[in-house]
Chain A
Amino acid sequence: MTASARVGLVVVSHSRQLAAGVVEVAAQMAPQVAVLPVGGTADGGIGTDPDAVSRALSAADSGAGAAVLYDLGSAGMAAELAAETAADPDAVLVVDAPLVEGAVAAAVAAQSGAGLATVAEAARSAAAAGPTAVPAEPPREQPAVAGGPTSAEVLLTNEVGLHARPAALLARTVAELDARVVVRYGGHQADAASVLALMGLGAGRGARVAVTASGPQAEEAIRRVRGLAERNFEE
């Protein structure tokens, strides 16, 4: 594990219990990420406390910045206020994302060592992140036999398959390229840019997944995905 700082997360909710619950779920995916809950008013009622958000931001930022997710209207405003008054406003991003899915996606991205902008994007794109059924008639560019320059069948030999960290690594690898990559497994497909969708495929150790790429860097994308799998996702 690298010693470098990871992006921290702050979850702001009107309810103390809701914030704590979201943090519980997200933190399970990211043991080395500071994921801090801020819920309710100072006197324990329903509402938001910008001062508490400020304190959580200071605690969550260990040098790589912090992303804030929130539940409803005034929680977002409290987060914006706290971000503006942070010691370094550039080190804070308030992210408009679905709270639970966004927090999980952001935590996984942060755990993998992604930067603040990537963590925020992971949260934002978590909205429609689940895998979808493969269309009955596959697109024509998908070759019937795997192994073409823009597609590959990849055997997952690493311990956990396309779970949290490997999925995040794959999503980051693909994100660097000008290519759209789709992973198919068990009758479902996932956009490889989405950590949650990849995880939703349920492709574990020993699974063979079909990877297809399109776009100017499609071949490079396939090369890199194969490389990742061959290196067991650097486990």
Chain B
Amino acid sequence: MGCAEKDVADAVRAAAGVVRRHRDELVNLDRPIGDADHGENLGRGFAAVVAALDAGVPSSPGGVLEVVAKTLISTVGGAAGPLYGTGFLRAARAVGAAEELDAATVAAALRAALDGVVARGGAQLGDKTVVDALAPAVAAAESAAGGGADVAGVLRAAADAAAEGAESTVPLVARKGRASYLGERSAGHLDPGARSASLLLRAFADHAAGSAG
């Protein structure tokens, strides 16, 4: 049981809906420690992704991920553009020309995405960034895939770990991004990037669970 291009495209559309519904939440998270544009930027980016997919779904899961990457890079306008864009681009490369994604490929794609985000932004675990959600998510996904979970199981493990990882950013002092200018005052706030990564993975997991059920 795998995940073809249409499933990936539908999961991305579902994620776009989640981003739209959480727009104000992301803006409000970004206001005290950033520039209050994360929700708006990501919303604009995913709206453009949906428009691109409406115009035509590429013929492979990797092709879909590449469209997501390039569209986010072109339209987001903030740090999330290059970061998520690079993540999706690396994920696209990791799955290559595969016609369907299995659990191991999904875990490998998540690993590639994390590596891309780290290479682009230079953040380490504990810097109060998207990496604090993605890194534990990737570890959980690999562990689940290794234990024989299906695609939905891998994504559920990733989403659960990402949610926990995002929450772990609350007490942290930011060392990367706009929030780092606040120093100690950045503590006590949930990182908007970690939150959005957690939302995206939850959307993918929920969609995969729905498709499987």
Whether B82 contacts A77 by the Cβ 8 Å rule is yes
B-contact 0/1 string along A10-44, CB 8 Å cutoff: 00000000000000000000000000000001100
A61 at interface by CB-CB < 8 Å: no
Whether B74 contacts A50 by the Cβ 8 Å rule is yes
Whether A77 contacts B41 by the Cβ 8 Å rule is no
12 further contact pairs, Cβ within 8 A, besides A46-B37, A77-B81, A80-B120: A41-B77, A45-B77, A47-B41, A47-B76, A47-B77, A48-B78, A50-B74, A50-B81, A51-B74, A72-B178, A77-B120, A78-B82
Whether A78 contacts B81 by the Cβ 8 Å rule is yes
B-contact 0/1 string along A72-94, CB 8 Å cutoff: 11100110110000000000000
Whether A73 contacts B177 by the Cβ 8 Å rule is yes
Q: How far is it, in angstroms, between the C-alpha of A49 and the C-alpha of B85 when the chains are bound?
A: 12
Q: Sorted from nearest, which 10 A-B pairs have the closest CB atoms? A: A47-B77, A77-B82, A74-B79, A41-B77, A81-B82, A51-B74, A50-B73, A47-B78, A74-B78, A73-B79
B75 at interface by CB-CB < 8 Å: yes
Taking a contact as CB atoms closer than 8 A, the residue among A42, A46, A72, A74 that contacts B82 in the complex is A74
Q: How far is it, in angstroms, between the C-alpha of A81 and the C-alpha of B79 when the chains are bound?
A: 12
Interface centre among B37, B79, B176 (most CB of A within 10 A): B79
- Min CB–CB distance A167 → chain B (angstroms): 34
The contact sample of 26 A-B pairs, CB cut-off 8 A, is A42-B75, A45-B77, A46-B35, A46-B37, A46-B77, A47-B76, A47-B77, A47-B78, A48-B78, A49-B74, A50-B73, A50-B74, A50-B81, A51-B73, A74-B78, A74-B79, A74-B82, A77-B79, A77-B82, A77-B120, A78-B81, A80-B82, A81-B73, A81-B82, A81-B86, A81-B120
A47: B residues at CB distance < 8 A: 37, 41, 76-78
From B176, which residue of chain A is reached at the shortest CB distance? A73
